[in-house]
């Protein structure tokens, strides 16, 4: 943490590249949400307490994500915090930029509206900004990561796997959570449909990671039976996807006034994309 040391070998070009990548990641991840009508409306009517909770929950998520991925080689919590703030800032910048160029926000609009819309969009955009470093970066450039102790442990470990599933579930889940289709589908479905959706989500999650075995697939040893992985990874993964879906729907006021069983069905609908996202994240991230 010697200031002199960091200044001496500070590479401006590389830092600027990192910022540009973060901005690109924010756009890539959050554009579907920037262009969703329900998200603009939510910016106006979302309960300010729920918005505050969402904005606060985003901070530890970004710090943990920075710890795993980060703009630069992150070795300490302080650096992770720094990267998380940069990502949050890029998220705010990206949502302000896009909402103004598509004409959703105009100069002279009431401040609470403007702030609400930018704030709610900044959350997915900031996650995208952090993911941008990982997804858009090239392997050759991060070859030095191999010697980095965090680089070695990245993605390893039980907690790491579960965290990656959280990120993946948010990635796909957030894209569709604000849309009206989520509750509309749940109203069209019977409860038997909901059970089928839950079972299908779990089967697909398991199949994605173990049966299909894409690159980076998690091959099982001969002496590790499939049900071991089902209990230890897929089941907790589905619970994570379900919990995140429930939280997203609650935050976006989709569960207001709903009977618990109806709320569960709506959550099962959103948990379907979230579960796929969670499974995919274990392979990709």
Chain residues binding other proteins by CB under 8 A are 134-135, 139, 155-158, 160-162, 180, 183-184, 187-188, 190-192, 194-195, 198-199, 202, 214-221, 224, 228-229, 231-233, 235-236, 238-239, 242, 257-259, 261-262, 264-265, 268, 283-285
Whichever of 19 and 205 has its CB closer to other proteins, that residue is 205
Whichever of 106 and 216 has its CB closer to other proteins, that residue is 216
Nearest to 233 by CA among 126, 151, 159: 159
Nearest to 41 by CA among 90, 124, 99: 99
Whichever of 37 and 261 has its CB closer to other proteins, that residue is 261
CB hemisphere CA count around 258 (13 angstroms): 19
Whichever of 101 and 256 has its CB closer to other proteins, that residue is 256
Residue 63 tokens, joined: 């710090």
- Minimum Å distance from CB 276 to other proteins? 17
- Minimum Å distance from CB 249 to other proteins? 13
- Minimum Å distance from CB 176 to other proteins? 18
Do residues 168 and 240 touch, judged by C-beta distance below 8 A? no
- Minimum Å distance from CB 257 to other proteins? 5
Whichever of 134 and 175 has its CB closer to other proteins, that residue is 134
For residue 52, count other CB atoms closer than 10 A to its CB.
12
Whichever of 108 and 260 has its CB closer to other proteins, that residue is 260
C-alpha span between 281 and 172 (Å, rounded): 10
- Minimum Å distance from CB 223 to other proteins? 8
Whichever of 92 and 202 has its CB closer to other proteins, that residue is 202
Whichever of 122 and 246 has its CB closer to other proteins, that residue is 246
- Minimum Å distance from CB 181 to other proteins? 11
- Minimum Å distance from CB 83 to other proteins? 18
- Minimum Å distance from CB 208 to other proteins? 14
């Amino acid at each position: 943490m010697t200031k002199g040391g960091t200044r001496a070998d500070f590479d401006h070009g590389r830092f600027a590249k990192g910022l540009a990548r973060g901005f690109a990641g924010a756009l890539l991840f959050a554009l579907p949400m920037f262009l969703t009508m329900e998200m603009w409306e939510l910016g106006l009517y979302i309960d300010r307490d729920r918005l505050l909770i969402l904005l606060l929950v985003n901070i530890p998520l970004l710090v943990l994500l920075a710890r795993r991925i980060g703009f630069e080689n992150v070795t300490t919590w302080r650096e992770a915090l720094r990267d998380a703030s940069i990502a949050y800032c890029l998220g705010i910048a990206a949502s302000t930029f896009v909402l103004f160029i598509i004409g959703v926000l105009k100069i002279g609009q009431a401040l609470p509206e403007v702030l609400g819309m930018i704030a709610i969009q900044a959350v997915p955009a900031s996650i995208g900004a952090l993911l941008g470093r990982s997804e858009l970066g090239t392997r050759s450039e991060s070859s030095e990561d191999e010697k980095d102790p965090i680089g070695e442990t990245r993605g390893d470990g039980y907690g790491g796997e579960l965290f990656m599933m959280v990120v993946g579930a948010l990635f796909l889940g957030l894209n569709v959570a604000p849309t009206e289709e989520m509750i509309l589908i749940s109203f069209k479905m019977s409860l038997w449909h909901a059970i089928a959706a839950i079972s299908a989500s779990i089967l697909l999650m398991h199949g994605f990671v173990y049966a299909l075995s894409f690159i980076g697939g998690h091959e099982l040893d001969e002496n590790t039976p499939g049900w071991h992985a089902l209990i230890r990874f897929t089941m907790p993964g589905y619970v994570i996807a379900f919990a995140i879906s429930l939280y997203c729907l609650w935050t976006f006021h989709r569960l207001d006034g709903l009977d618990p069983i109806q709320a569960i069905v709506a959550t099962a609908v959103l948990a379907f994309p979230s579960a796929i996202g969670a499974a995919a994240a274990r392979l990709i991230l």
